[in-house]
Amino acid sequence: QSALTQPRSVSGSPGQSVTISCTGTSSDVGGYKYVSWYQQHPGKAPKFMIYDVSKRPSGVPDRFSGSKSGNTASLTISGLQAEDESDYYCCSYAGSYTWVFGGGTKLTVL
């Protein structure tokens, strides 16, 4: 049950696009469709942004999108806005009723 690998930080200017990667193995990210992404503002509980790799719940802007290739999932945020500055975590089902999170990525909007 090793944590998924995310970059510790990414940054971008307003209006730009950024992509956050989430690398696991064939036993988690690569093996299942249950990859989700969570946004966490300081002092707040996480909020889910993407589920089942690329599905977006109602209320989440279409600027947020998800994808997966092999053992790596990605979250792309286009048209960056100041309110997107936050911590982002990926999460994957890892088999045998267990789950694993990524280490988290701090997004800075310059």
Partner 1 sequence: EVQLVESGGGLVQPGRSLRLSCAAAGFTLGDFAMHWVRQAPGKGLEWVSGINWNSDNVDSADSVKGRFTISRDNAKNSLYLQMNSLSTEDTALYYCVKASTYSTSSGLFDFWGQGTLVTVSS
Which residues sit at the interface with partner 1, rule CB under 8 A?
1, 3, 34, 36, 38, 40, 45-48, 51-52, 57, 89, 91, 93, 96-104
| Selection from 38, 68, 40 nearest residue 53 by Cα | 68
Give the C-alpha separation, 46 to 38, whole Å.
Answer: 6
C-beta closer to partner 1: residue 14 or 33: 33
Single-letter residue type at 49: M
Residue 74 Cβ, how far from partner 1 at the closest point, in Å? 17
Report strand pairing: 47-50 vs 35-40: antiparallel
For partner 1, the closer of residues 82 and 99 by Cβ is 99
Minimum distance between the CB of residue 86 and partner 1, rounded to whole angstroms? 13
CB of 55 to partner 1, least distance (A): 9
| Positive/negative CA dihedral, 42, 23, 18, 110 | positive
> Which CB sits closer to partner 1, 36 or 74?
36
Based on CB atoms, which residue is closest to partner 1, 16 or 44? 44
How far separated are the first and last CA of the chain, in Å rounded? 35
Q: Residue 92 and residue 77: Cα distance in Å, rounded?
A: 19
Smallest separation (angstroms) from partner 1 to the CB of 99: 4
